[in-house]
Amino acid sequence: MTEVETRVGSRWLELREPADAAARSRSLVTTLAAELEGRAHEGAALTIRDRWGESVSHRRIVVHDLGGGGGTMRRWLAPQLPGPQHWVRHDGDSELLHDTAADPVRPTTNGGAVTDETRPGDLTRLAPQDLIGASLVTGSALLDRLTAAEIGRLVGSVVAAACPALLTLTVAGHITLRPSDPWDAVLEAALNDHQRRTLGDRELLGPDAARVAADSFRAVGWSVELAASPWRLGTESAELAGEWLESWVDAACEQRPELGEIGPAYLARRRRQLARGLAVTVHHVDLLALPPRGGR
Ligand X SMILES: C[S@@+](CC[C@H](N)C(=O)[O-])C[C@H]1O[C@@H](n2cnc3c(N)ncnc32)[C@H](O)[C@@H]1O
18, 43, 79, 92: which one binds ligand X (CB under 6 A) = 92
Q: Does 15 bind ligand X (CB under 6 A)?
A: no
Least distance to ligand X, CB of residue 284, Å:
11
Residue of 23, 77, 88, 93 that binds ligand X (CB under 6 A): 93
Identified binder of ligand X from the candidate list 24, 29, 70, 155, rule CB under 6 A: 70
Q: Does 13 bind ligand X (CB under 6 A)?
A: yes
Instruction: Give the span between the Cα atoms of 245 and 233, in whole angstroms.
Output: 11
Shortest-Cβ-distance residue relative to ligand X: 70
Closer of 115 and 235 to ligand X (Cβ): 115
| Residue 286 contacts ligand X per CB under 6 A | no
Q: How many residues does the chain have?
A: 296
Helix/strand/coil (H/E/C) assignment for every residue in the chain? CCCCCCCCCHHHHHHHHHHHHHHCCHHHHHHHHHHHHHCCCCCCEEEEECCCCCEEEEECEEEEEECCCCCHHHHHHHHHCCCCEEEEEEECCHHHHHHHCCCCCCCCCCCCCEEEEEEECCHHHCCHHHHCCCCEEEEECCHHHCCHHHHHHHHHHHHHHCCCEEEEEEEEEEEEEECCCCCHHHHHHHHHHHHCCEECCEECCHHHHHHHHHHHHHHCCCEEEEEECCEEECHHHHHHHHHHHHHHHHHHHHHCHHHHHCHHHHHHHHHHHHHHCCEEEEEEEEEEEECCCCCC
Question: In the stretch 140-169, what mask flags binding to ligand X with x, by CB under 6 A?
Answer: xxx--x------------------------
Residues numbered 102 to 141 that lie near ligand X (CB under 6 A) are 122-124, 140-141
- Interacting span for ligand X (CB under 6 A) from 2-10, 212-220, 248-256, 258-266: 2-10
Query: Between residues 191 and 278, which has the closer beta carbon with respect to ligand X?
Result: 191
Task: For ligand X, give the closer residue by CB, 71 or 291.
Answer: 71
Q: Closest by alpha carbon to 233, among 76, 17, 19? A: 19
Q: Give the nearest distance from C-beta 161 to ligand X in angstroms.
A: 18
> Residue 47 CB, nearest distance to ligand X (Å)?
30
Site for ligand X, residues 222 to 261, rule: CB under 6 A: none
Kindly state whether residue 69 participates in binding ligand X, applying the rule CB under 6 A: yes
**Among 25, 72, 147, 170, contact with ligand X (rule: CB under 6 A):** 72
Q: Which residues are at the interface with ligand X (CB under 6 A)?
A: 1-2, 5, 8, 13, 67-73, 91-93, 96, 122-124, 140-142, 145
